[in-house]
Amino acid sequence: MKEKIFINARIIDPSQKMDEKGYLIVGENGKIKLIGKNIKKEKLQTTSEVIDLKGNILIPGIVDMKAFVGEPGFEYKENFRTLSQAALAGGVTSIVTMPNTNPVIDNVSMVDFIIRRGRDKSSVNLFPCAALTKQMQGKLMTEFGLLSSKGIVGFSDVNSTVQNTETMARIMNYASDVGVLIMQHAEDYDLSKNGCINEGEISNRLGLEGIPDIAEQIIIERDLTLLGEYSCRYHINQISSKKSLNIIEKNKSNGKKFTVGVSINNLSLNENDIGDFKTFLKLSPPLRAEDDRFALVQGIKDGLIDIIVSDHLPEDEESKRLPFAQAATGAVGIETLLPLALEMYHNESLPLNKIIETLTINPSKILKINKGTLKVGSDADICVFDLDAPWVVKAEELKSKSKNTAIEGRTLQGKILMTFLNGELVFNKK
Partner 1 sequence: MAVIKNNSAIKVHTKHLLGIQNLSIIEAKKILNEAKSFIKLNRSKSKKLDVLRGKTQINLFFEPSTRTQSSFDLAGKRLGADVMTMNMGNSALKKGETLIDTAMTLNAMHPDLIVIRHQDSGAPNLLSQKVNCAVINAGDGRREHPTQALLDALTIINRKGKIEGLKIAICGDILHSRVARSNIYLMNMLGAEVNVIAPKTLMPKSIEKLGVKAFTDMKKGLDSSDIVMMLRLQNERMQGSFLPSKREYYEYYGLTSEKLKYASKDALIMHPGPMNRGVEIDTKLADDINVSLVKEQVELGVAVRMACLKIYCK
- Residues serving a catalytic function are 311
Nearer to partner 1, 110 or 206 (CB): 206
- List the one residue from 44, 146, 169, 325 that touches partner 1 (CB under 8 A): 325
According to the binding rule CB under 8 A, does residue 324 interact with partner 1? Answer: yes
Q: Tell whether residue 204 is a contact of partner 1 (CB under 8 A).
A: yes
Rounded Cα gap, residues 26 and 29, in angstroms: 8
DSSP state of 196: -
**How many residues lie near partner 1 (CB under 8 A)?**
21
Binding of partner 1 at residue 272 (CB under 8 A)?
A: no
List the one residue out of 151, 160, 161, 97 whose CA is nearest residue 124.
97
Q: Minimum distance between the CB of residue 160 and partner 1, rounded to whole angstroms?
A: 23
Can you tell me which of 322, 390, 392, 428 binds partner 1, judged by CB under 8 A? 322
Binding to partner 1 by residue 277, rule CB under 8 A?
yes
Task: Compute the least distance from the CB of residue 212 to partner 1, in Å.
Answer: 7
CB 227 within 8 A of CB 256: yes
Instruction: State the Cα–Cα distance between residues 269 and 289, nearest whole angstrom.
Output: 9
Pick the closer one to partner 1 by CB: 120 or 276. 276
205 is an interface residue for partner 1 by CB under 8 A: yes
Interacting stretch for partner 1, rule CB under 8 A, among 27-35, 135-143, 317-325, 410-418? 317-325
321 interacts with partner 1 by CB under 8 A: yes
Q: How far is the CB of 80 from partner 1 (least distance, A)?
A: 29
Question: Is 212 near partner 1 (CB under 8 A)?
Answer: yes
3-state secondary structure of 180: coil
- Selected binder of partner 1 within 28, 177, 201, 290 (CB under 8 A): 201
Find out whether 273 and 296 touch, Cβ atoms under 8 Å. Answer: no
- The reply to whether 323 sits near partner 1 by the rule CB under 8 A is yes
| Residue from 172, 175, 208, 300 binding partner 1 (CB under 8 A) | 208
Q: Is residue 381 at the binding interface for partner 1, with CB under 8 A as the rule?
A: no
For residue 210, give the 3-state DSSP assignment: strand
User: Omega of the bond prior to 72 within 30 degrees of 0, cis?
Assistant: yes
What is the three-class DSSP state of 397? helix
Q: What angle do CA 259, 261, 267 make, to 5 degrees?
A: 145
Residue 207 touching partner 1 (CB under 8 A): yes
> Based on CB atoms, which residue is closest to partner 1, 156 or 203?
203
Q: Which is nearer to partner 1, 206 or 367 (CB)?
A: 206
Distance of CA 371 to the CA centre of its chain: 14
Q: How far apart are CA 135 and CA 178, in angstroms?
A: 21
Residue 141: exposure state from Cβ atoms within 10 A (0-12, 13-18, ≥19):
buried
**290 binding partner 1? (CB under 8 A):** no
Q: What is the C-alpha to C-alpha distance for residues 226 and 231, in angstroms, rounded to an integer? A: 8
- Window 181-200: residues binding partner 1 (CB under 8 A): 199-200
Closer to partner 1 at the Cβ: 129 or 331? 331
**Are 156 and 150 a contacting pair, CB within 8 Å?**
no
- Decide: is 428 part of the binding site for partner 1 (CB under 8 A): no
Which of 333, 205, 128 is closest to 341 using CA atoms?
A: 333
Alpha-carbon gap, residue 308 to 229, rounded angstroms:
28
Minimum separation from the CB atom of position 410 to partner 1 (A)? 21
Give residue 63's Cα distance to chain centre.
7
Task: Considering the complex, state which of residue 275 and residue 377 has its C-beta at the smaller distance from partner 1.
Answer: 275
x/- track of binding to partner 1 for residues 38-57 (CB under 8 A): --------------------
Element counts in the chain: helices (H) and strands (E)? 14, 18
Tell the burial category of 391 from Cβ atoms under 10 Å away from its Cβ (0-12, 13-18, 19+). Answer: middle
Of the pair 202, 236, the CB lying nearest partner 1 is at: 202
**395 makes contact with partner 1 (CB under 8 A):** no
Residues in contact with partner 1 by the rule CB under 8 A:
199-201, 203-210, 212, 276-277, 318, 321-326
